[in-house]
Amino acid sequence: VDLDRAAESLRRLTGKYLPGPSRAKDLLSGTFLGHPLHPALTDAVLGCWTSALALDLRGQAEASDTMIGLGILASLPTVASGLSDYADVSGEDASRSGLVHAALNSASILLYASSLLLRKTGHRRAGLTFSSLGFGAALAAGWFGGHLAFRNGVGVDRNAFQELPADWTRAVKVEDLSFDSLDLVQVGGYSLMLRRRGGTVDALSDRCSHRGCSLHEGKLDGDLVTCPCHASVFSLIDGHVVVGPATAPQPRADVRIDQGWVEVRRPSFEADHRG
């Protein structure tokens, strides 16, 4: 099987049938939560199916059937949110892992649906076999989900591992900044996007919190900047997410102008978490 071609086809399908930038996309992404929605929903599915297994072991067949049904129901929004996330994945390893993750999860849902049908038609033994296979497929899918998050960083805030200096640090001369456009500067290995407006300068991390694209290549509209990759919109003033699919805000920098230089520093924790 050509995994790359299959991954590309799946991504094309998700792009075609799932919502583009919209409230629905934000909902599936988890923008309202401040964290990706998909991993949270997977807990509901796996929790139901783990409970079903425990109930089967205790001989409580009807309760187990109920948990299997609930797991199948919970899998519907989980699949939708996962496919929506997959539409924004790039890179060979992440694309392949996402494809296998999706295939194993589809198999587990089919196996559980078959199990429920068999259980309800009096074939309890066969139903047990199918649900056990479904549980195995769901666990294997979970391994690939973990690979996507912890190895490929899908869903991780792309600014999690970089920090601005705590003390005021010179970034650029004010006269070198253009007016009302987005400029990129490096401060101690940290990429900052600056916008000069009148006598003030706003500064946000240039690395989009969603998948890491360069925000200074995006579109500036008043106090808002739109990411060039998946159209998340951030406030230039405080970095909050105005429109997803991003879930984490853009870190901002404190800015002052001293002797013709723009100086920046990491905002204090209190200043950034007030009210």
Contacting residues toward ligand FES, per CB under 6 A: 88, 208, 210-213, 227, 229-230, 232, 246
Report the alpha-carbon distance of residue 60 to residue 47 in Å, rounded.
Answer: 17
Nearer to ligand FES, 220 or 257 (CB): 220
Nearer to ligand FES, 116 or 229 (CB): 229
CB 101 within 8 A of CB 138: no
User: CA of 74: how far to CAs of 14, 41, 80, 127, 209, in Å?
Assistant: 20, 7, 11, 20, 28
**Nearest approach, Cβ of 23 to ligand FES (angstroms)?**
16
**Nearest approach, Cβ of 158 to ligand FES (angstroms)?**
8
Judged by DSSP in three states, 266 sits in coil
Nearer to ligand FES, 137 or 208 (CB): 208
Task: Sheet containing 182-187: give its strands across.
Answer: 182-187, 190-197, 200-205
Omega within 30 of 0 (cis) for the link into 245: yes
**Nearest approach, Cβ of 133 to ligand FES (angstroms)?**
36
Structural tokens at position 129? 């076999």
Q: Assign residue 108 a region: left if phi > 0, alpha if psi is -120 to 50, beta otherwise?
A: alpha
**Nearest approach, Cβ of 221 to ligand FES (angstroms)?**
15
Nearer to ligand FES, 56 or 88 (CB): 88
CB 196 within 8 A of CB 209: no
**Nearest approach, Cβ of 262 to ligand FES (angstroms)?**
24
Nearer to ligand FES, 30 or 134 (CB): 30
Nearer to ligand FES, 98 or 127 (CB): 98
Report the alpha-carbon distance of residue 22 to residue 155 in Å, rounded.
Answer: 18
**Nearest approach, Cβ of 189 to ligand FES (angstroms)?**
20
CB-based burial label for 33 (10 Å; 0-12, 13-18, 19+): exposed
